[in-house]
Amino acid sequence: MGSFNDIFKACSWEETSNSIYAKTSADVERALAWGTAKRTLEDFKALLSPAAAPYLEQMAEISRQLTLKRFGRVLQMYVPLYLSNECNNICTYCGFSYDNKVRRKTLSPIEIMQEVAAIKEMGFDHVLLVTGEASQSVHTAYFKQVLELIRPHFAQISMEVQPLDLADYEELRPYGLNTVLVYQETYHQEDYKKHHPRGKKSNFLYRLETPDRLGQAGIHKIGLGVLIGLEDWRTDSFFTALHLDYLEKTYWQSKYSISFPRLRPFSGGLEPKVAMSDRELVQLICAYRLFNEEVELSISTRESQVFRDNIIKLGITAMSAGSKTNPGGYVVEPASLEQFEISDERSAKEIAAMLAQQGYEAVWKDWDNSLV
């Protein structure tokens, strides 16, 4: 069976980048004034190119209309639960990096349940489990144990951990694993190596083919994205869209989501190589929506209050709130190492109130594990 790599290896980063930056206002206008066919990957290039900047308001209006048509006036709410900050990888941009000399912690079953109680108190029914990559302590058996433990308490369980083998995903799915997020970080193969010099994560191809394994395992929803700031975000985002397009056609029974993590400050941190302004992030979000009317677009608490308040009308369909990015961060050990600093510190209830004020409903439950 083939994989995305068959398509990826036929695309040059440089040629793709040049083609994006060569787009003109005529290309953008053509992409905006679409005909009967679906917008193409070439349209997507035009919409995220510098040439599209003057058309931002038009893009926002179309993005808003398409999102309303497909998703209505609702926002899916989720919250991360950091299980562990142990990690064997060196990543130049991450607080959990192996060479960052801080105390490591993996939550015990009792501690997990303490955190679960706090999360339930906040109103969440959808939790995102997060770990570093430390296969000696956070492995498939551990994940299975965690899923068994928390499944009765959540309608939807997502996971953002190290890439696993197909057999692992197949093993975990019956335990209630609904969604798996796996960000490629960057599709720039050479620079990926520079950012991930040590650990299993340095295997670019294994990570690139993870969504294929998720699709083959029948995972209900697959989350994609790049870490914005590592490399040219326009080129990286094009490769994400190319990946999405392939996956949707191949694993057509799965749903897909895209996230937009911008590199944030953290303990021992790396300055973003490429800055992305708020305006550019709005452009990217709208470009995705115009390209793909069905994909879920998610925004985290990395972004500021003002930005999050305004972006909900422009294409976003899911957001986290009240997040802690450290294991035990809700009640067990609030002072442990954060993966990154959050920006919007409002509580889940405050976010729900903000949404209501804008005429949107916060949706806490949109799945039920008994359906799996």
Partner 1 sequence: MLKIADKIFSSRLFTGTGKFSSALEMEAALLASGSELVTVALKRVDLNAGDDDILKHLKHAHINLLPNTSGVRNAKEAVFAAQMAREALETNWVKLEIHPDPKYLMPDPIETLKATEELAKLGFIVLPYVHADPVLCKRLEDAGTSAVMPLGSPIGSNKGLKTIDFLEIIIAQSKVPVIVDAGIGAPSDAAKAMEIGADAVLVNTAIAVAGNPGLMAGAFKMAVMAGRMAFEARLGKVSAGMQALGSSPLTSFLD
Residue 194 interacting with partner 1 (CB under 8 A): no
Please report, as a single letter, which amino acid is at residue 318: A
Q: Facing residues of 159 across strands? A: 129, 180
How would you label 222-238 residue by residue, b for 16+ Cβ within 10 Å and e otherwise?
Answer: bbbbbbbbbbbbbbbbb
CB of 293 to partner 1, least distance (A): 10
The DSSP code sequence of 240-297 is HHHHHHHHHHHSTTSEEEEE-PBP---TTPPPPSS---HHHHHHHHHHHHHH-SS-EE
Residue 219 interacting with partner 1 (CB under 8 A): no
Give the interface size with partner 1 as a residue count (CB under 8 A): 29
Here the tokens at position 319 are 């957001």
Whose Cβ is closer to partner 1: residue 145's or residue 358's? 358
Q: Among residue numbers 242 through 301, which ones bind partner 1 (CB under 8 A)? A: 248-250, 252, 278-279, 282
Tell the burial category of 170 from Cβ atoms under 10 Å away from its Cβ (0-12, 13-18, 19+).
middle
For tokens 């390209």, name the residue.
291
How is residue 300 annotated by DSSP?
Answer: -
Residue 38 interacting with partner 1 (CB under 8 A): yes
Residue 10 interacting with partner 1 (CB under 8 A): no
CB of 170 to partner 1, least distance (A): 18
Q: Where are the beta strands (DSSP E) in the chain?
A: 74-82, 126-130, 156-160, 177-181, 221-225, 255-259, 296-299, 318-320, 361-363
Whose Cβ is closer to partner 1: residue 114's or residue 250's? 250
Residue 29 interacting with partner 1 (CB under 8 A): yes
CB of 22 to partner 1, least distance (A): 17
Stretch that binds partner 1, among 29-37, 78-86, 129-137, 234-242 (CB under 8 A): 29-37
Residue 60 interacting with partner 1 (CB under 8 A): yes
Residue 350 interacting with partner 1 (CB under 8 A): no
Q: Among residue numbers 112 through 151, which ones bind partner 1 (CB under 8 A)? A: none
Whose Cβ is closer to partner 1: residue 145's or residue 304's? 304
Whose Cβ is closer to partner 1: residue 26's or residue 102's? 26
Identify which of 164, 163, 170 has the alpha carbon closest to the alpha carbon of residue 184: 163
Residue 66 interacting with partner 1 (CB under 8 A): no
CB of 43 to partner 1, least distance (A): 9
For tokens 């990826």, name the residue.
8
* Neighbouring C-beta atoms of residue 139, cutoff 10 Å: 16
Whose Cβ is closer to partner 1: residue 62's or residue 352's? 62
Identify which of 76, 42, 62 has the alpha carbon closest to the alpha carbon of residue 285: 62
Residue 53 interacting with partner 1 (CB under 8 A): no
Residue 56 interacting with partner 1 (CB under 8 A): yes
Residue 57 interacting with partner 1 (CB under 8 A): yes
CB of 171 to partner 1, least distance (A): 23
Is residue 95 a contact partner of residue 266, using CB atoms and an 8 Å limit?
yes
Q: Among residue numbers 290 through 349, which ones bind partner 1 (CB under 8 A)? A: 306-307, 309-310, 313-314
Residues in contact with partner 1 by CB under 8 A are 29-30, 32-38, 56-58, 60-62, 64, 248-250, 252, 278-279, 282, 306-307, 309-310, 313-314
